[in-house]
Each structure stands twice: as C-alpha cells, then as structure tokens.
Structure 1
C-alpha cells in the first residue's frame, strides 16, 4: 500500500548554451535531471536551487516554474509517492563539479540527446515540457506585502503603517528564496509596509528599493500591467511588492483570466514568467 504522505522534492532543467545538464547516480546506474529531497521547512524553490547546485557544481538562476512530476518509489518503509517540482534554470556561476558517491558524472547534452539518455519516463516528460515551452524572456515576482496589523492601529496616514512581528518574520523568510532569482531591480508600492517587505532582500542584494505609485492599491491595473511588462525585458528578474487590492486585477489584465483566480494572501506572491511571442505564464510563488 502506498504511503499517503508524499516525498517532497524539487529540481531543475538547467540549460547552458543550449545544453541540458543530466546527472549520473552510481548507486542506481541511471541518468536523471538534477533534483533532491526537501529539508524540513524548506521552500520548494530553495530545494530545487540547492539540489541543482550541489549535484552539478553550477549555481542556478531560476527562470520560471515548469511542471510537477509525481511517481511511485520504493522506500525502507514500503512504497511511497514522490512529488518533484521543477523550474527552468540558467547558470549563474560555477563552483566546479566534484564527483562523489551520490553523483559521479554530469553530462551536458542537446535536448534530443538528453531525452535519449534519461533513464525514466517522468524525467523525459519534464524535458519535453521544457522543449515545448516558448523561450524565456524575463520574470517578475509580484508580492503582496506581509502582515502589518489592522488599519487604524497606527496614528496618521495608513500608508505609514509598518509591518508587525509576523510580517517582519515573513519578510525575512522571503529573503533566501527570492535571492536565488538574482533580481536586478526591487520595486515597491508607496506604503511603508511594502517597502519593509523588501527590506531584508534589499540588504542581501545591496540594491535600493524603488518606489513606484503604479503599484499602489488604487492604481490603474491596466497601467500596472504595462509597467510589469516593461520590467520583464532583457531576460532579467525583478521583484515588485504591491497591495492586495491591485494584484488580482493586474494579473487578470496580464493573463486574460478571471480576477478571482488571483486572490493573494499577505506575504504571498506570484511568479510571472514572460516568453517569446508575448506569452505570460503565472504560477503561485513556491517560496
């Protein structure tokens, strides 16, 4: 009987100069996409990037969420279901590959050759999802600010209301996963709580936070969507912190989907990937 508790894992389709990274596991004598199990409490995006770096010696930059594979595996406790989230990734730097007991070889292959070498159908399906996707052109992470108490808790303008203790903790927790994207710009709506949500990440990256009223709650979603498209150019990533009233209509404008599809909790967000031909792929931020 299959254990109802899935094994959570994550990995990536890491591509360098058009070649896909595959790893060889001597224990199983198989070829697979780089991936690994999540540490306790670890966000899927962090798991994916950490495992790809450990297994290939290349520090990855995630581009956009790709797909989730789910399949049965054997464990010491019996059969279980393994669920693996995958991102498309580009190289962000190399620390060098060192063969070991877990991974003893990395191969960089053109996608057709990579598909022929992969040992498992679920990995081939992930690679095919990558091959069928349009070319990546940029990504914008859209966040809703973290918690800041209740309206009226602070004397003066509501825009001056700061993050509360839980909000500060959430802002800190976002630092590590968002750092993997290697953002080159951080943009915030006007309220203090939006600026503070980006504060820990700004400190890590040593980047300023640009204030843009186009992302304030009362702003025009059509104009905000146009601004997001402009920020997505050049294959780079940008993180934007906005407000709960603007994000659903903004995302609806970008995608043509129902506004109700994009309700966003405080401190949560969306990965908005842009691709050749103007395609927009939106997924909840797995951070």
Structure 2
C-alpha cells in the first residue's frame, strides 16, 4: 500500500443560461489531449473554496461564485514514481464577469456548450457524473452561510463586558481570510450578533463589499439566554430570495438558530461555517467547512 499523501484538488461546473439554454464550460488540456471540467490542485494551507475559485479563473479566465456542491471524485494518479489517490471537490459555479481566456501550456482551448453536447464531449465518465449532478441542485432560491465567530480572548483573561470581548490575533487573521471565502460564495448580505467577537468576524468582509452589518441581538449569547423564544420568526427574515446571507453567532446559540432555519447541524469550531442552499423545489442542500 502506498503511503503517498492524497492529492487534494477542487473545481466546478461553470454554467450560464443563454437563450433559455443552459451552457457549461469545458477546458482542453493539450498535455492529455482531453476535455474536462476546470479544476486544479490546492496550494499548501489553501482553503478548498479559494483553491477552486483560483483554479477556475486560471484555467478559463472566468471569475465565479459557488453554489451547491456537486460531488467528489476519487481516482489514482501517478506521483513521484508511484501512485497516489486524488480527491477532487466540485461545486456549481456561475461567472460574475466576462473574463478573457488566454491559451497556455495547461489549457489551450475552452468551449461553452449546451449540457447534452458537453456530456458527449467530456473525456471521462466521472466528469459526466459531476455534470449530471448540476441538474439536481439548480436553481437556488436563497443561500445562508452560518458562521461561528472566530477565536476570541478567553473569558478568564477579559475584565470587561462579555459583549465587548475581542478576537485574538489568530481570530483576526481568520476573519481576514474569511473575506475571500465569503466572496467566493457571493455573499451580499451580512447579519451578526451584536457581540464584538461576532461583528469583528464578518466586519472585514462587510467592509470589502461596502455593506452595512445588520445586528440581531437575539442571536447573541446574552440575548438568547434572556429570551430563547426570540429566535422564532428569524427564519423568514434570514431566508431572503435572491440573496446570499452570512449570519454570525455563538456556539451556545447555533444549534437552536440552525433548527429555526430548518437545518440540523453538529458542533461548530471557531471560524467554521455551514453553507445552506434553498432550492426551487424546497429542498435544502448544505456544505460544511472548517475555518479558513
């Protein structure tokens, strides 16, 4: 058995609607003379969503935002004279601008094709399986990103009001890195507990898109302890059609908040998040991530 580490890669099915026809974007790799979905290996310590976005842009010129997950591929590749398992994560991906493709040694041609033609052109059956998964997760009506605040100064080390307890230096770094991840998800609405540690977690992203942070005291630890019933009715306010909303709260509140939003979740480590997509048929599709 090989002890070679697993190769982690990520990519997406990039799609658009043209004249009532769904088109997807394929790439041609001259090294293998094949047609495939855009993807690539992550760099060390790179968050999988950021790696997927970077690779798609490098291969196609398209800047994208991600929707629901489409599945994972596992297969063997040659590495260092032996073999290793390759693990590739895929998401639905929609272009946010008309990027310009520049042929290179890795990808020398791209092609927008209707789904049926793309299915026939793809070189690998595993890519066809990922492409077929797209039909089952679009369209998306609304998306919520549920975040536990980044690491904060410990209670025993803080003399002020608990609501003013700040992030640690590591927590601040996670908040900064979260900016790129939320951008990759296309977040355009920011909601937070009124506690400083939650506000500071999403503030860098809100500033990057010039958005106001809407404060919900009822999802703070203090607010929830005072009135657990205050969460009732928040689901209707959170699920806003056509929007991708980030909601930042606290570990003791997240289980109840998630139930109110219609999602069952487990434990959240600091800075981790859950992405939940509401589909047109009412189904919820979710994707869980560690802190960036």
Confirm or deny a common fold (TM above 0.5): yes
* 1:177 and 2:181 aligned: yes
Pick aligned residue for 1:32 from 31, 36, 44 = 36
Aligned residues: 281
Structure 2 gap ranges (5+): none
Q: Give the CA deviation at 1:41.
A: 1.0
> For residue 247 of structure 1, what is the aligned residue in structure 2?
254
In the alignment, is the contact (CA less than 8 A) between 2:65 and 2:183 conserved in 1?
no
Cα 1:256–1:158 shift into 2, 3 Å:
closer
SS at match of 1:182: coil
SS at match of 2:5: strand
* Residues 74-106 of structure 1: CA deviation (Å, up to 9, x unaligned): 234311111011111111112201111111111
* 1:153 and 2:157 aligned: yes
* Residues 188-213 of structure 1: CA deviation (Å, up to 9, x unaligned): 11101100111221222222212122
Which deviates the most, 9-18 or 197-206?
197-206
> For residue 236 of structure 2, what is the aligned residue in structure 1?
226
RMSD of aligned C-alpha atoms?
1.8
* 1:205 and 2:215 aligned: no
Q: How does 1:44-55 map to 2 (within 5 A)?
A: 44-55=48-59
* Residues 7-46 of structure 1: CA deviation (Å, up to 9, x unaligned): 0100011111121111010111101000000011100000
> For residue 16 of structure 1, what is the aligned residue in structure 2?
16
Structure 1 gap ranges (5+): none
In the alignment, is the contact (CA less than 8 A) between 1:63 and 1:87 conserved in 2?
yes
Q: Give the CA deviation at 1:119.
A: 0.8
Q: Give the CA deviation at 1:2.
A: 4.0
Q: How does 1:71-150 map to 2 (within 5 A)?
A: 71-150=75-154
* Residues 45-90 of structure 1: CA deviation (Å, up to 9, x unaligned): 0010111111111100112222211111123431111101111111
Cα 1:90–1:146 shift into 2, 3 Å:
same
Q: Give the CA deviation at 1:223.
A: 2.9
SS at match of 1:245: helix
CA distance in 2, matches of 1:246, 1:226: 18
In the alignment, is the contact (CA less than 8 A) between 1:4 and 1:80 conserved in 2?
yes
In the alignment, is the contact (CA less than 8 A) between 2:163 and 2:194 conserved in 1?
yes
Cα 1:81–1:178 shift into 2, 3 Å:
same
Cα 1:137–1:3 shift into 2, 3 Å:
farther
Q: Give the CA deviation at 1:222.
A: 4.0
Cα 1:15–1:75 shift into 2, 3 Å:
same
Q: Give the CA deviation at 1:182.
A: 2.8
Structure 1 runs of 4+ aligned residues shifted over 6 Å read none
* 1:6 and 2:6 aligned: yes
CA distance in 1, matches of 2:128, 2:232: 39
In the alignment, is the contact (CA less than 8 A) between 1:186 and 1:240 conserved in 2?
yes
Instruction: Give TM-score, length-normalised by structure 1.
Output: 0.91
Instruction: Give TM-score, length-normalised by structure 2.
Output: 0.90
In the alignment, is the contact (CA less than 8 A) between 2:158 and 2:165 conserved in 1?
yes
Q: Give the CA deviation at 1:253.
A: 4.0
SS at match of 2:154: coil
